[in-house]
Structures are given as structure tokens and as C-alpha cells.
Amino acid sequence: MGSRYEVEVTVGSASNLKNVNWRNGDLRPYAVLWVDDGPKCSTRVDPDNGEDPVWDEKVVVPVPPASAARLGDAVLHIDVVHAAGDDADAVKPLVGSARLPLRDVLDDAGGVGGARVSRTLRLKRPSGRPQGRLEARVAVREAAPPPRYYDPNPYPAPAYGNPGAARDPYYAAPPVGYPADAPPPYGGGYGYGAAAPTAYGAEAAPLPAQQQKSSKMGMGTGLAVGAAAGLLGGLALAEGASYVEDKFEDRVAERVEEETFGDGDYDDDY
């Protein structure tokens, strides 16, 4: 759970500090800040100014949730420490400490979110002996809400193995047994309103009732037309046979007459 409040501290400068590192060299001070038992924050190290360091650095210190319920009783702590070296486990000699009740800041600023309040804090040794001064500007404010996460890609990715579904809302997958990467049959695809071919070995889908009725009517009409054509063909054959028979009889009669009476060029007086 995040903190509801935070303390903004601009750590300006310090003066008349005691060089706790006098045996080994110059003083390299930095400031450590926290509220009650909350997390600690720090400034950078000033390696140049010794006993009169200048930071002029803004530090945002979170107020722990337990202290937020009693904000007026919370206390800001500031320690000035000597940076003994780069070793994180090395002992950091304390130069001096200061305490600032947040009630004093809220009263002078007019509450949470008011103007920054300038304070000159007296630094003290653990024994209580004064050890220099620290200049700071302090304000108490509500913590900023955490940033909301926005999905950079809100649109769903196309389904694996079905790229057409992401582009065409009427896309239909190829039928079972038809290769997925093969082009659609000539004259159309498997889109909206298109009939997919029946896969080899698969049972054809039944036709709708209206199409079944039309198919039956078409079949009956075809049978009737075929029967009529057969009948007409039979009649034509019968007539042809009669015609050939008549012609044959005429030809026989002509041959008999020729053999009996000659070629037709005869004398009338015979």
C-alpha cells in the first residue's frame, strides 16, 4: 500500500560542521532524511566544501501509512553523515542530527499542500552538544497517485493459424481436409455466403428444404422431358420404317413391270 502523504524537503546548505574525519582527510558530508520509521532518502555527497557544504537538492520523503493517520504527530529526521568511502559496509561517521515535527510545518503552511516553510535547524551530536546548522525548506503534500498502466496494444492478436479472421469479420476457415495454406478454388473463396467444397471422403451437407424441393421438381421435369423425347423418337423410327417399306414395295412393282413389258418403249399395236 502506498503512502498517502509525502514531505518535500529542499536541503540547502549547512555551516560550522565538525570534521569527524580529521585524522584521514577532509569532510565529505551528505544528508539522510526519513519520517518516523519510514524509508530513508539521501542527498548527494558534497566533496568540495568541507565543513560548510552546499547541496541545494530537493528530496521527497514518503510518510509511512501508520504516521499518515496521525500526521500532526509525525517527525521529520535529518542526519548529516560523512561519506567514509565507497564500501557500502563501511561505518559512516555521524556529524550531527536534527528533528522537525510536521505539526510546526502544517501550522505555518496552513495545512497539507500549503507553501514551503523555511527552517534553520540546529544539528546536535548524540550527546546533545550543538554541532552546526542546517538550512531547509519543507512542505507537506498529498502523494501523487501511481501512474495507470495503459495497454500499448489493446487489439487482440490474430489467432494462430487463422490469419484471415483478424482481417475479415466474415472469414470462414477452409473445409476439413483442404490445405490451410492453399489458395481458394477458382471463382471465390470461403468467405461470407460462399459454399465450401466437400472434402474427399466427407459426407455432403444436406440441402435446405427449398433447394431439395427445387431439385425434386427439376428431376421430375427432366424425366418427363426424357420420356417425351423417347416417344417422339420411337414414332419417328416407326414412320421411317413404314416409309422404307412403301418405297421397297414400289421398287419391286417397277421391276416386275420392266421384266414383263420391257423398258417401257413398246408399240401400241402389239
pLDDT band at 121 (very low <50, low <70, confident <90, very high): very high
From 142, 176, 208, the end of a domain falls on 142
Structural domain contains residue 96: yes
Question: Is the same domain home to 15 and 127?
Answer: yes
Does 157 map to a domain?
A: no
At 58, list the grid cell.
Answer: 530537493
Give the Cα separation of 75 and 78 in Å (integer). 10
Record the pTM: 0.54
Q: Tell me, yes or no, whether 135 and 231 share the same domain.
A: no
Q: Is residue 127 domain-shared with residue 249, that is, in the same domain?
A: no
pLDDT confidence tier of residue 144, bands split at 50, 70 and 90: confident
DSSP 57-92: EEEEEEPPHHHHTTGGG-EEEEEEEE---S-TTS--
Of 142, 159, 184, the residue that ends a domain is 142
Q: What pLDDT, on the 0 to 100 scale, is given for residue 3?
A: 75
**111 in any annotated domain:** yes
| pLDDT tens digits for range 156-207 | 555 545 555 545 554 555 566 656 565 555 444 444 444 544 444 445 555 5
CB 63 within 8 A of CB 79: no
Q: Are residues 113 and 237 in the same domain?
A: no
Residue 71 maps to which CATH number? 2.60.40.150
What residues make up the domain containing 246?
A: 225-261
**What is the pLDDT, as a whole number, of residue 92?**
82
Rounded to 10 degrees, the C-alpha dihedral 184/190/193/194 comes to 40
pLDDT, average across residues 43-51: 94
Mean per-residue pLDDT, 51-78: 94
Same domain, 36 and 130: yes
Shared domain for 15 and 118, answered yes or no, is yes
**238-242 contact pairs (CB < 8 A, 24+):** none
| Cβ neighbours of 78 (radius 10 Å) | 24
**Confidence (pLDDT) at 194:** 47
Is residue 163 one of the residues assigned to a domain? Answer: no
Residues 253 and 129 in one domain: no
Nearest to 139 by CA among 121, 115, 119: 115
Whether 126 and 251 map to the same domain: the answer is no
What is the number of structural domains in the chain? 2
**Residues 261, 263: Cα–Cα separation, whole Å:** 7
Residue 211: inside a domain, yes or no?
no
Please, are residues 3 and 143 in contact by the beta-carbon 8 Å criterion? yes
Is residue 128, in this structure, part of any structural domain at all?
yes
Burial of 64 per CB tally in 10 Å (0-12, 13-18, 19+): middle
